[in-house]
Amino acid sequence: MSTTGRVSCSRFRPSRTAVVLITAAVPVALTTIPASAQSPNSVTVVVDTTAPGRTVPADFLGLSFEANLMHEQWLAPGAGNVSKLIANLGHGNLRFSANQVDNTAWTPDPSSPLPAWAKGQRVTPDDLSRVGNLARDTGWSVDMGVNLAHFDPAAAADQARAAEDRIGSALRSVQIGNEPNFYVLASVTGGGQRKPYLPASYADDAHKYRDAIAAAAPGVAVEGPDTAAGGTGSPLAEAGMKAALVDPWLDSYIERFGTESRSLNQHYYPFVNTARLGLSGGSSDAVGGQPTVDKLLSQDTSDRQTAFIRSLVSKAEKAGLQPRLTETNSVAKEGLPGVTNSFGGALWTVDYLMTAAREGVTGVNLHLQPNDCESYPVFCFPDDAARAAGQARPNPNYYAALAVSKLVGGQILPTTVDSGGKRVTALAVRMPDGTVKVMVDNLDRGADAAVTVKVKGGSGTASAQRLTGGAPESTIGTTFAGAAVTPDGAFTPAASESVPAVDGAYRLDAGAASAVLLTAPAR
């Protein structure tokens, strides 16, 4: 991730067209400016189209749902607008697991009584068929979690066999449990009674699950460990957690299962809702305090995220595995209203996904709670009537994901940002058709930016589309490319504006809390 000052951001190639997304932080219209104009907030972005690097995978963008939501009727194609909302984002990955996988029972017979621990939550064969239909309708793959907390390898194997039959080739993998490294903290975090696993004891039990699944569904891949990690706003607390509860688990998993795995799955949230942990006052402050929009957009947060991601990528690549963030968002413990569901949260999402792609993460599943619009909803149901009708509302994060989806499939290009001390980051990619897309993210609150984008070999007139959403704290009114998603889930970009090249550069006046996608022809 680029930081203030002058930073080189290398990694993905061009030919004919260039695209730039500029996100800032206080609302102002976007206009072109004369070549002679000067600004105290001048930002220069230089893209080298001659040295493409790694490719952003086709299924880079994903969504993560709680496992019990497989039982929801709104997942069925045609039941509402959810299928269209997902399809708008390209061809990604749907994960069904998270905390509720360990509170949800697999019941091959839907009429059978539920165990008390299941809290009324079940998954049935018909639910798997519904997920399979959604995957086929959208072209997305599926990762499915199975219950580990209530140890039953035979049940997990039977569920995997049924999933292979009902979901078919769209079933990418099975994940065993959710965040087993945090089972030891379950009584504190509200997760219920869990076996207090250490890396070795987890590996022993996971091996039993793998053997059972291999016998029942030999064609189904098993991936993991889907361990938890996150920030608290306190570098000291975060470093201690990583050293005790993340690194030893990943190292153990690689040693035991690395040769039979394709990916190294990890979760990450840079903040936690300390109130939902029962912390307040000094105890909350000791772990960084409650998150805010400004904290989310800060340089410190970017630095912490980047360091964690680089560590994960390094471990995975040394083991020959694909590093994946299979559950992630901005604030753990169900998010924080006014932060995770804000336009500032959307700006954070753009920057975070840019960082993950540039550093080599091969997939990111944004976690969402569709039944809670104040959580971290990419999309959600604002009331019971909307939920019954399957009519979800896209939220600011949805439009951020929509913008980032335009980078998928591109090769990362070296990009340099001279931000004049402002909080500006950038990412450039070259698409298979020669299109060059560059995202430039200004996270400096209150700083309007006069941006000059220089694409090597660029000439001609560019087109620009914007991501807008009002103030960073706003939770409504976000649009992308001058358009909002219609009630039926369709998205059609409005007409874009023209931006001429002047001396080989494209000059834009980008106000705060806005975004622009610039598409410029290049040789």
Structure-block tokens of residue 251: 């190292």
Per-residue pLDDT, 477: 95
Which of helix, strand or coil describes residue 308?
helix
Q: Give the Å distances, CA to CA, from 285 to 50, 273, 302, 305, 375.
A: 48, 12, 20, 20, 22
CA distance 519 to 495: 13
CA distance 444 to 294: 9
In 116-261, the DSSP E strands lie at: 122-123, 141-146, 171-176, 222-227
The verdict on pTM exceeding 0.85 is: yes
CA distance 21 to 34: 20
Residue 111: partners with Cβ closer than 8 Å, 6 or more residues away: none
Per-residue pLDDT, 424: 83
CATH class of 61-407: alpha beta
In order along the chain (523 residues), what is the average pLDDT of each group of 10 residues? 42 40 40 43 91 96 98 96 98 97 97 94 98 98 98 98 98 98 75 83 98 97 96 83 96 98 97 90 86 94 95 98 98 94 94 97 98 91 97 97 94 92 87 84 84 86 86 94 96 90 84 77 68
Per-residue pLDDT, 523: 64
Phi then psi for residue 334, to 5 deg, are 70, 20
* Superfamily for the 6-54+410-521 domain: Golgi alpha-mannosidase II (2.60.40.1180)
Per-residue pLDDT, 199: 97
Amino acid at 350: V
Q: Which of 214, 199, 211, 201 is closest to 253 using CA atoms? A: 199
Per-residue pLDDT, 32: 41
Per-residue pLDDT, 12: 35
Specify the pairing of strand 105-106 against strand 122-123: parallel
Which residues partner with 462 through β-bridges? 499
Per-residue pLDDT, 449: 85
Other C-beta atoms closer than 10 Å to the C-beta of 453 total 29
CA distance 191 to 200: 21
Per-residue pLDDT, 40: 58
Question: What is the domain partition of the chain in residue ranges?
Answer: 6-54+410-521, 61-407
Per-residue pLDDT, 235: 84
